[in-house]
Amino acid sequence: MKDELSLFIMVDACGWEIVKDRPFLKDLAPHRRKLESVFGYSSTCVPSILSGRWPDEHLNWCYFVYDPEQSPFRPLRWLRWLPEAVTSRRIFRRLLTKMVRVKLGFRGYFDLYNIPFRYIHLFDFTEKKSPLKPKGMNRGPNIFDLLEERKVPYFVTEPTRPEEENLSVLLDDVETERIDFAFQYWAGLDGLLHSVGNDSPLIGEKLESYDEWIEQVVTRAKKHYRNVKLTVFSDHGMANCDRYLDLRAKIDVLDLKMGRDYAVVYDSTMARFWFLKDGVREQVTKVLETVPEGRIMADEELKSYRAYFEDHSFGELIFLVEEGVLIVPSHMGERPIRAMHGYHPTDPQSYATLFTSYEEVPDDITHIPHIYRLMEESVNAQSSQS
């Protein structure tokens, strides 16, 4: 029997408002608290958790950025001649995404989403490496670099596997006592919430499944390890989308041309603009100031949330919508979805969660990047015992 197993399990989109009144993990991890997330999507949240640093430090923020000189997507531009009835279909985009990912050798999460092919040559993609691997950050180390450095045997989720398969692999690693540290990442709740919203009875059923899975892991672990420390957490919550905003239509009425006068990425909850000619910023700003569903983020506010980038690589102007508003159509999708995240970090549904089987969690663990400190402490303890 081995001495200790540190179990860190991330349940994507398991927000505080979703679980605060549910019995989720009340027996396995009864110590719970609300955590503030970071400003951004999972592309920001997950690297922040894995590195303990903020977006302006690790440089993993939004996926697509304006960078025509470095764009790897130029060969795809010919697809603009195909009918949009074909190229806008999700199945077409998924198949093409798989082909492009292999061709370009991307190792992280990658999706072409709904970027128009007539503009795709203007953009680069920022997650070419996987944050779930050593040396996987855009800048700086992550927890897996530390695990490798300290020679602590560990399990980490393989994102290409189904959730059940990752669970099975973890159970096998526990059974054989191969590991001292585990990072399990389940993303199924996130996808379900996008589809059905956070009021659906399916959410409770999914949480019950996770509760059962985690109990399986803990029960198995206690047969092979004297001490099992369980930490379960999320990266953000999820808000129901009841209002839709066609922001692109408001910008398109201007006498401006995409790629000549400006560039923009319409994410699901924000629009990020780059200005290529004098006077264009003023025209766009004037339009955005008339849109009641959102507001332009001031530089000082972006700095306060550690999402301001001096080189403006992720956008010179950031327009953020109110919680519950969905930008549609957007470069993330042509059609509405039931729920979304990526709103302001202090909006009610943005808060993440932390559940532990142990009480000794410092009071200053208040934001999701602080989860790294709990992992780091476990790794240091494991390496000192070996």
Three-state secondary-structure class, residue 117: coil
pLDDT band with cut points at 50, 70 and 90 for residue 386: low
For residue 117, give both structure tokens. Answer: 């092919």
Instruction: Render pLDDT for 308-321 as a digit per residue (tens, 0 to 9).
Output: 999 999 999 999 99
Write out the two tokens for 386. Answer: 């070996």
Secondary structure element (H or E) that encloses residue 327, with its range: strand 325-327
Q: Give the span between the Cα atoms of 334 and 353, in whole angstroms.
A: 31
Are 126 and 61 within 8 A, CB to CB?
yes
Same domain assignment for residues 138 and 74: no
Q: Are residues 135 and 221 in the same domain?
A: yes
Within this chain, do residues 319 and 261 fall inside the same structural domain, yes or no? yes
Write out the DSSP string of 189-200: HHHHHHHH-TTS
Two structure tokens written together for 385:
């015992």
C-alpha to C-alpha distance for 71 and 159, rounded to whole angstroms: 25
232, 352: one domain: yes
Read off the pLDDT of residues 198-241 as tens digits, 9 standing for 90 and up.
999 999 999 999 999 999 999 999 999 999 999 999 999 999 99
Q: Is the pTM of this model over 0.85?
A: yes
The token duo for 69 is: 């000189």
Side-chain half-sphere exposure of 197, counting CA atoms within 13 A:
10
- Nearest C-alpha neighbor of 188 from the set 210, 170, 169, 204: 210
* Residue 83 pLDDT: 86
Summarised one tens digit per residue, pLDDT across range 251-273 is: 999 999 999 999 999 999 999 99
The burial of 279, by beta-carbon neighbours within 10 Å (0-12 exposed, 13-18 middle, 19 or more buried), is given as exposed
Mean pLDDT of the chain: 96
Residue carrying the six token digits 């015992």: 385
* CATH code for position 39: 3.40.720.10
CA distances from 381 to 4, 74, 288 (A): 9, 48, 51
> Reduced to 3 states, what is the DSSP secondary structure of residue 326?
strand
For residue 278, the domain's CATH number is: 3.30.1360.180
Q: Are residues 182 and 139 in the same domain?
A: yes
Count of domains forming the chain: 3
Q: Are residues 280 and 313 in the same domain?
A: yes
Q: Are residues 263 and 140 in the same domain?
A: no
HSE value, Cβ hemisphere, 13 Å, CA-based, for 90: 4
In a shared domain, residues 322 and 372:
no
Count CB atoms within 10 A of the CB of residue 87.
18
**pLDDT computed for residue 162 by the predictor:** 96
Buried-exposed string 219-233: b where 16+ CB fall within 10 A, e elsewhere: ebbeeebeebbbbbb
Is the domain of 69 the same as that of 120?
Answer: yes
Distances (CA, A) of 76 to 58, 90, 332: 29, 16, 18
Asked if residue 59 is part of any domain, the answer here is no
Verify that 158 and 222 share a domain, yes or no. yes
**Is 40 in the same domain as 142?**
yes
pLDDT tens per residue across span 232-253: 999 999 999 999 999 999 999 9
Residue 341 domain-assigned (yes or no): no
Residue 120 lies in a domain: yes
Please give the Cα distance from 80 to 87 (Å, whole number).
Answer: 8
User: Which residues, in sequence order, are CB contacts of 348 under 8 Å at separation 6+?
Assistant: 17, 239, 323
Convert the pLDDT of each residue in 57-111 to its tens digit: 999 999 999 999 999 999 999 998 988 878 888 889 999 999 999 999 999 999 9
pLDDT in tens, 355-376: 999 999 999 999 999 999 999 9
Residue 385 in this model has a pLDDT that exceeds 80? no
What was the pLDDT predicted at 98?
Answer: 93
> Residue 377 sits in which domain range?
2-53+130-239+346-385
Q: What is the rounded average pLDDT of the residues 331-344?
A: 95
What is the distance between the alpha carbons of residues 105 and 71, in angstroms, rounded to a whole number? Answer: 14
Per-residue tokens: 15: 């927000």
The structure tokens 């494991």 sit at: 382
CB-count exposure of residue 151 (10 Å: 0-12, 13-18, 19+): exposed
Please state, as a whole number, how many other Cβ atoms lie within 10 Å of the Cβ of residue 86: 10
The pLDDT of residue 85 is 79
Mean pLDDT of the 265-285 span:
98
